[in-house]
Each structure stands twice: as structure tokens, then as C-alpha cells.
Chains A and B, each alone.
Chain A
Amino acid sequence: MEKNESVHKPSLAYRLKKAVVGTALIAFGATFEKVSKKDEVIIEELKDWEEGLVLSLGVLPFGPAISMKKKDGYVKYLGRGYKEDPSLKILFKNVDSAFLAFTGQMGNHTAFAQHRALVHGSLIDGIKANRVMGLVQTYLLPGIVLNKIFKRPPKYTFKQLLLKGYLYLTFPITFSMNMWK
């Protein structure tokens, strides 16, 4: 995590939003790791990622952030902060913008269109990551939200629906196992 050098004390609302975003980020990282081994579309997409690529998802200026790495064909959740000198960062300009995206109020493409998020690193890698992150989101957010924020409602196979159900059921375990990373 980048050192917090803020001059102004953040409000309670700011700290609450930051906590929500921080929690959502961990949930995202942990879910990404899980589905990267199980969802066939994601597995196929990941073949096109450079092995060893480190990707961080974070909020400017002082986090929260998480890092992930492509390892042995899958995605490994590395934990909180910018770990292993990420070559690709997807960054929200502030906590408010990240909050909109992580609470399902705004789709990824809208966040980019509204200058709320930006890519540091290869834009091609950024687009590939964005597409897979959209697929990961389909496991985290309820269908009714997805239909609102995606350009086209996602289509699930029966297998994917089962996986989504399983992830929802085991979510508390997955989350608590990754909380302190």
C-alpha cells in the first residue's frame, strides 16, 4: 500500500466507503482466483495473458488496492496492496468512483467513459483484463444488477450457474481465508 500522506482528515462517510471498497476488492481477488480455475471461458481468456503478469486493482491516492498474478495458467490472489511491482494497474481516481463501481451502481465501461478509472500499463493488457474482470463480476453480482450495468445481459451455462451458487454458499469461508493476505 502506498503511504498515506493525506493532509486532510477524511470524513466518516469517506472511511466507510473506503472500508466497503476494501472489502469488495478482497472478495473480488479471492473470487477471481477461484473462478480462474473453473470457468471455461475465463480459462480460455487467460491463455492469452502473459504468464507471470501482475495486475493490481486500486484506488488513488492511497489505496485500498489488491494484486493478482497469472501463475501456472490461473490467477493467484496475492493480497492487499501493490505487490510484486505490477506491470498493469487499473486505478480508480478516488474512493467515490470506486464505490460506485464496486457496489454495482456503474459498469466498468461506464467508469472508463466517465474518466473515473484509468489504466497504467499496456492498454491491450488492460482491455483483456477488463473483459475477464467483467466475467468475474458475473459471479459476484446478482443478475438484476448485471443486466443494468452490462452492455448486454450475461448468458450463463448450467455449469456456470451451479458454480455461481456454490461460490455464494462458500463465500464466507473464501473471504475469511483471504482477508489477512
Chain B
Amino acid sequence: MLPEYYEFLCPVKILSGLKALSNLTFEMELLGVKKALIVTDKGVSDAGLIKTVKKAFGGSKCEIGAIYDKTPPDSGTDIVNEVAKLFLDKKCDCFIAVGGGSSIDTAKCANMIVVEGTNDLMKFQGVERLTKPLKPFVVIPTTAGTGSEVTSAAVIYDRKNKTKLAFASGLLFPDIAILDPKMTVTMPPKITAATGMDALTHAVEAYYCLQKNPVSDAYAIAAIRLVFDSLLDSTLKPKDEKKRLAMLNASLLAGIAFSNSLVGVVHGIAHATGGVARVPHGIANSILLPFGMENNYDKAGDLIAELAPFMGATTTGSKLDQAKSAVAAVRELANELKAASGLPTKLSEAGVKKDQLEEIAKTAINDGSCTMNPEDITYEVALDIIKQAF
């Protein structure tokens, strides 16, 4: 049952629940900082969430040095350099990311630039290349999906070289993650559904892919239970703070799981689908997850079967029957989310064109996620999954 060898790391302090945000400045003082650069995007700011964060500074010794609210969905090297410059110009001493994966990863990369004293991130690509600890770093997620507040990874687009730069390092973890349901109640239903399915995909793939370990398993299962309990409700009733908090926790737990066990073919193809056809990450994962699970019946069917009870699926019959019922439960959830929010369940419904399928397959097999997939992912195998999901 135990892997021959594994490692596990999550040094992030977690504050979760009612009025969690009110502890922001107390935590800043513990960290020994008082002037924050807030990194966010327009959608988050327009939803009034930066106002909410500003209020949390009231009556404290801490201040906001500057707010960067122009993070685009495909944040790039030019943006992170701009953010780093703002940090230095305004003499800030800590970063606060307020947003989804895009804002969080932008803050992570800008932080890297500040501490490494460079504007060339190229040479930090890869695994464990950072040499200095980040500046104090607080993350306040406003989506419940990427789990980036507790992961050791960041991805950024390099516009000059037209490629994605990926970083993984034990030094990339934020110090504090603040999960406050106030910050996600404004999320529109379709983004709620898509980002929630991203969290589910992290947990499911972390559970059956090659780097799994008993610690990440525990996090993955806890995440899966919460997603099946709360994702549909938080899509249908956006203001329900209990369900929102449950999904924030699901996303965080799944983030801890996959930061330590990595993901598989679903993410490999989802990244490629995002790159080639601009399909948002959560939507692509949601569409591909059942097909990716089916692809792994042969190598990891028993593990997939173990997930059935946490998805409310049947636990009778052979292992394969149970794995199939787990996949059916994922499909059912996706269909319910489709009815609730218009979440696509086919790549063709998400704007992918038939003549893009081969390019997606070609890109997917060069994605690191496929390495940790139990089944061998050749071009032919990837194309087959993509065609089924089309």
C-alpha cells in the first residue's frame, strides 16, 4: 500500500471560516510586515472584493502600499515584471494575492523576481531552482479551484518566446492562506462550477496517479467528499456561505494533495486545450475528467474504485464495476452543473474546433502531468481521449 518512497510538504498557515479576513493585519504583524502590495484582477475588483480587503486594514498599523488590479487570465512575464517594479517603487514589504489562480501565480512570480533580483525568470524554470525565501506572502483566494494558495508551483506565459514557464519549489509556498466565504460568494455560477471541477480533478488525479502517497490520499479524499457535498449547491445558491466555505476547503485540500502527488492525463490535455483552443482550465478539466479516469481503468481501476463511496456511488460488484460507478458519479455531477450553470460537457461545446484535436494531442504529450499518469500517454492514446471528449 505504501509507496517505496515519498515526500510531503505543506508549510502554509491556514485561516478558514467566518470573518477569517479580519485576522489579516494580525497575521501581517506576526510576519513582521506592514505595507502590502495587493495583486488582483479587474473582475475581482469590480465584484467589490478589494473594498472588503481594504476594510480589513481599518484600525491597524498596517497599510496598503499599492494595488495592482490588471492581472489578465494569461498573465505573462511582462505583467510580473510590472508588479515586481510596483512592489519595489512603493517600498512594500509583503505580497497579498486576492483572486483566483491567475492573480495568485502572478504574485508568486513577481515575488520571485523581487527576491532573486532579476527580471529574467527563464533561468528559474524547472524544479527547486529558487535560492532565496520569498517575501512574506498572504493569499486570499476568490475562486475555489486551483488551490494555488497551498501549492509549490506557478505557471506564467513568456510572451517573448511564446511558451509557458513553469516553476516548482519548496520556496514558492505562500505563508498564509485566508479562506473567507465572503470572498467567493460573488463568483458567477459558471466560474463556480468550472473552478470547483478543477479542484475535483486535482483530488481525483492526485489519488490515482503515480506520485500518490498516504498523506496526500487523506487530503484528496477529504476534498472529494466536500466537492460532492457542496459544489452543486454553491453553484445553485451562490450566497450560501457555508457551502462556499466548504468549496474553499475542498479546493485547498485538493491543492495540498496535488502539490505533493501531481496530476495526470486530464491535466495534461486540459493544459494543452487551454493553450491551443483557449478553453478555461476548469472547464477543460471538467469535460476530460471522466475520460481520463476511464483511460486508467487498466492500471489504476482499483484505486478509482476506492473513490466510489466518497462520491456517493455504488460500492457493490467487481472493482471495475465500482470504478465505473465512480466515473458515472463524476458524469452525473458534471451534467447537474451543466443544467445549473451551462458548464459544457463536451470539448465541441467549449469552442474547440475539430481541426484542433491533433494539435491538442501533440501538445498534451509534452506536458509534465502525463508523466505521472499511470497509463502510458502516447500521441495516439491522447488523441483517442480527446476525440471521445469532443
Contact in complex: A124, B163 (CB < 8 Å) = yes
A114 interface contact, C-beta 8 A: yes
CA distance A124 to B163 in the complex (A): 9
CA distance A89 to B125 in the complex (A): 11
Given the complex, which residues of B lie within 8 Å of A89, measured CB to CB?
126
CA distance A131 to B4 in the complex (A): 23
Contact in complex: B366, A128 (CB < 8 Å) = yes
What 0/1 readout, one digit per residue, does chain A (145-163) give for beta carbons within 8 Å of chain B? 0000011100000000000
Given the complex, which residues of A lie within 8 Å of B372, measured CB to CB?
109, 112-113
Contact in complex: A151, B164 (CB < 8 Å) = no
Return the chain B residue nearest A150 by Cβ: B376
CA distance A177 to B4 in the complex (A): 38
Task: State which of A13-21, A30-38, A115-123 sits at the interface with chain B.
Answer: A115-123
What 0/1 readout, one digit per residue, does chain A (126-151) give for beta carbons within 8 Å of chain B? 11101100000000000000000011
Q: Is the interface of B mostly helix, strand, loop or mixed?
A: loop
A110 interface contact, C-beta 8 A: yes
Contact in complex: A151, B374 (CB < 8 Å) = yes
Return the chain B residue nearest A112 by Cβ: B371
CA distance A124 to B367 in the complex (A): 6
B368 interface contact, C-beta 8 A: yes
What 0/1 readout, one digit per residue, does chain A (71-115) give for beta carbons within 8 Å of chain B? 000000000000000000100000000000000000001101111
CA distance A109 to B262 in the complex (A): 12
Q: A109-B372, A113-B372, A124-B164 are in contact. Are A119 and B299 (CB under 8 A)?
A: no
Return the chain A residue nearest B378 by Cβ: A152
The interface centre, meaning the residue of A113, A115, A126, A130 with most chain B CB atoms within 10 A of its CB, is A113
Contact in complex: A124, B366 (CB < 8 Å) = yes
Question: Number of contacts between A and B (CB, 8 Å)?
Answer: 63
- B368 is contacted by which of A116, A127, A152 (Cβ under 8 Å)? A127
Contact in complex: B127, A119 (CB < 8 Å) = yes
B29 interface contact, C-beta 8 A: no
- A127 is contacted by which of B6, B165, B210, B366 (Cβ under 8 Å)? B366
Given the complex, which residues of A lie within 8 Å of B165, measured CB to CB?
122
CA distance A154 to B213 in the complex (A): 28
Contact in complex: B126, A118 (CB < 8 Å) = yes
Return the chain A residue nearest B167 by Cβ: A123
Contact in complex: B370, A114 (CB < 8 Å) = no
Contact in complex: A130, B371 (CB < 8 Å) = yes
- List residues 1-29 of chain B with CB under 8 A from any CB of chain A: 3-7
B375 interface contact, C-beta 8 A: yes
In the complex, what's the smallest C-beta–C-beta distance from A66 to chain B, in angstroms? 19
B148 interface contact, C-beta 8 A: no
Given the complex, which residues of A lie within 8 Å of B368, measured CB to CB?
123-124, 126-127
CA distance A89 to B126 in the complex (A): 9
Contact in complex: B7, A110 (CB < 8 Å) = no
Contact in complex: B370, A127 (CB < 8 Å) = yes
- List residues 141-179 of chain B with CB under 8 A from any CB of chain A: 163-166
In the complex, what's the smallest C-beta–C-beta distance from A129 to chain B, in angstroms? 10
CA distance A116 to B128 in the complex (A): 12
In the complex, what's the smallest C-beta–C-beta distance from A27 to chain B, in angstroms? 24
Contact in complex: A118, B127 (CB < 8 Å) = yes
B286 interface contact, C-beta 8 A: no
Given the complex, which residues of A lie within 8 Å of B367, measured CB to CB?
124, 127
Contact in complex: B371, A109 (CB < 8 Å) = yes
Contact in complex: B299, A151 (CB < 8 Å) = yes
CA distance A83 to B335 in the complex (A): 54
In the complex, what's the smallest C-beta–C-beta distance from A48 to chain B, in angstroms? 8
Contact in complex: A151, B127 (CB < 8 Å) = no
Q: A128-B366, A152-B376 are in contact. Are A120 and B3 (CB under 8 A)?
A: no
Q: A123-B368, A127-B366, A128-B366 are in contact. Are A114 and B3 (CB under 8 A)?
A: yes
CA distance A113 to B211 in the complex (A): 5
Given the complex, which residues of A lie within 8 Å of B374, measured CB to CB?
151
B242 interface contact, C-beta 8 A: no
Given the complex, which residues of A lie within 8 Å of B3, measured CB to CB?
113-114
Given the complex, which residues of A lie within 8 Å of B127, measured CB to CB?
118-120
Given the complex, which residues of A lie within 8 Å of B211, measured CB to CB?
113-114
- B210 is contacted by which of A48, A113, A123, A150 (Cβ under 8 Å)? A113
The 6 closest A-B pairs by CB, nearest first: A151-B376, A118-B127, A113-B210, A120-B126, A152-B376, A113-B211
In the assembled complex, 23 residue pairs joining A and B whose CB atoms fall closer than 8 Å, in A order, are A109-B210, A109-B371, A109-B372, A110-B210, A112-B372, A113-B211, A114-B4, A114-B6, A115-B5, A118-B127, A119-B127, A121-B126, A122-B125, A122-B126, A123-B125, A123-B166, A123-B368, A124-B368, A127-B366, A127-B370, A151-B299, A151-B374, A152-B376
8 further A-B pairs in the complex, CB-CB below 8 A; given A127-B368, A151-B376, A152-B376: A112-B372, A114-B3, A115-B5, A115-B7, A119-B126, A119-B127, A122-B125, A131-B365
